[in-house]
Amino acid sequence: MIGRTLAIAVAALKEALRAKLSPLAGLLLLLLVPWLARLFGQDDPDTQAWLTRSITTEGLRVVLPLLAIVGGGFLLRPTLKRGWTALPARRSEYFLGVGLTGFVVITLAAGLFTGGGLIANQWLDSDLTVTAQGEKISKQRRLDGALQTAPGRDAIYTWANPAYSEELVVELPERETGRLRGTIEYQLVWTREAPPRDRSPVSIWIENDGKRHELKTTVQSRYRIEFEGEGERGKLVIQPTDPVLIVGTTPDRVRVELSKVNSTGSMYRLFALSASASLLCLALVMLVRSLSTSPTAVLAGLLLLATLTLLPTLAPASQMAKDRRAAVAGEPDEEHWINLEEKFDRLPQLYPEFYFDEFLAARNVPDEIWSEVAIRLLAALLLLPCGAVLFRARQIAK
């Protein structure tokens, strides 16, 4: 059985890889992210960083599972025309063989797309997705508010006026390396008392036990500066240097590179999560397809289901829509049919949104994602034998 299943899987894989458009599709998947980031990001590192993150994230979160759903609808051919190749084998083996091929193709596609994200990171700027610990910095800044002119909150700028010797102070997060590296994005207010003097309006220092030493800085854009230097612990001090420019920033815009945090690791984790979720979609579609001869009917139903439940960002019952309705109509009646939306919301999500949001905010995707990956992969692998049994039992289409 294993030999026959593998023989079918290998033949189907050869078919898929030798199709006329396969090399083009592979190349497109690999180069899509760097190309779009370069095309629309122009020479602005911030825009390129945002594009790299968001294209990679949305591609893995939304596009890949949708492609898996559509592909799964057409992957299995229960008609005699194509399925007859498998007649010497049992049809359950045909189902499993084709399913395995689908798994390999989806994983390859996800790998190429993620590879494109990695290429974009390396090609455009190695720090595009380097992370900071926004919440921690914000909290520390509230505690160390002596030199601040406004309370530090994520969305609110804190300003430092050089006329009053104000500085912005950021507590450094725990790191394992003595090498300090990161970026700061800021806004400027010009007092119009004189023209600005330098290209860089700030100098960056590290302060430890009352002693300060200046870090090496590189201006990356008008509102973004990179800093680098030695320093294990202490505080990061952003000192305005131009008397006519008031400098402001938010904790989210101070990004410090941590030794264990790197964009590559985060992307690998997103790749694994997305590939496993897409495989689950594929296995689910194949299970339903094993009962139906019409791929369009299967696809219509599954896409509706996916739109309503599996992809909550597209769902009409998202939290934002519910809040809006609650604000207008008040609290809905518990017994009312409209609560169906709420019930849909309680269904398990295809993805934990949190991880993608973290990546999109240039933060690290944590290690605990692997349990999520394992659950989805296991579910997909369990669905395959179920589909094989159903496919074995049904009659072939005339």
Partner 1 sequence: MFGLLGPNGSGKSTTFKIAVGLLRPSDGRVSINGKAPGTLAARRATGFLPEDSTLLPFLSALETLKLHGALAGLSRTDATRKANELLERVDLLHAAKRRVKGFSKGMQRRLGIASVLIADPEVFILDEPTSGLDPLGAVLVKDLIGELRAKGKGILISSHLLGELENVCDRVAFLNKGKLLNEGTLEDLLREKEVHELRVSPPDSEAIKALEELARERGLKIVRSGSPMRSLEAFYISVLGKKDDTP
Which residues bind to partner 1, rule: CB under 8 A? 3-4, 7-8, 11-12, 14-15, 18-19, 80-82, 84-90, 395-396, 398
Q: Shortest Cβ distance from residue 89 to partner 1 (Å)?
A: 5
In angstroms, what is the minimal distance from the CB of 20 to partner 1? 9
Structure tokens at 304: 């509706």
Q: Residues 272, 274, 275, 278: what is their CA dihedral angle, to the nearest 10 degrees?
A: 160
Sign of CA dihedral 197, 183, 360, 35: positive
Q: How many residues does the chain have?
A: 398
CB of 393 to partner 1, least distance (A): 10
- Closer CB to partner 1, residue 12 or residue 137? 12
Burial class (CB in 10 A: 0-12, 13-18, 19+), 320: exposed
Instruction: Map residue 285 onto helix, strand or coil.
Output: helix
Compare residues 94 and 227 and give the one whose CB is closer to partner 1.
94
Q: Considering the complex, state which of residue 94 and residue 351 has its C-beta at the smaller distance from partner 1.
A: 94
CA separation for the pair 169, 204 (Å, rounded): 10
The interaxial angle of helices 263-289 and 45-58, nearest 10 deg, is: 30
Q: Whole-number minimum distance, CB 3 to partner 1, in Å? A: 6
* Structure tokens given for 208: 């430890």
Beta partners for residue 158, in sequence order: 249
In one letter, which amino acid is 124?
L
Identity of the residue, 15 or 353, whose beta carbon is nearer to partner 1 in the bound complex: 15
Residue 44 structure tokens:
């602005």
Residue number, 192 or 398, with CB nearest to partner 1: 398
Nearer to partner 1 by C-beta: 13 or 310? 13
Which of 80, 71, 282, 247 has its CA nearest to residue 160? 247
Cβ neighbours of residue 260 closer than 8 Å, sequence gap 6 or more:
176, 364
**CB of 8: closest distance to partner 1 in angstroms?**
7
Q: Which is nearer to partner 1, 19 or 163 (CB)?
A: 19
Q: Which residues of 154-169 are buried (b: 16+ CB within 10 A; e: fewer)?
A: eeebbbbbbeeebbbb
Q: How far is the CB of 388 from partner 1 (least distance, A)?
A: 15
Residue 375 in tokens: 């659950």
Looking at beta carbons only, is 239 or 290 nearer to partner 1? 290
* Smallest distance, partner 1 to C-beta of residue 91, A: 9
Main-chain phi, psi angles of 367, to 5 degrees: -70, -25
**Do residues 284 and 381 lie in contact, with contact meaning Cβ atoms separated by under 8 Å?**
no
Smallest gap, in angstroms, from Cβ of residue 256 to partner 1? Answer: 51
**In the complex, minimum distance from the CB of residue 9 to partner 1, in angstroms, rounded to a whole number:** 11
Dihedral of alpha carbons 320, 323, 328, 329, sign = positive
**Percentage helix, strand, coil, to 5, in the chain?**
55, 15, 30
Taking every pair of Cα atoms in the chain, the longest distance, rounded to a whole number of angstroms, is: 88
Nearer to partner 1, 11 or 381 (CB): 11
Closest contact distance (angstroms) between CB of 23 and partner 1 is: 13
For partner 1, give the closer residue by CB, 88 or 330.
Answer: 88
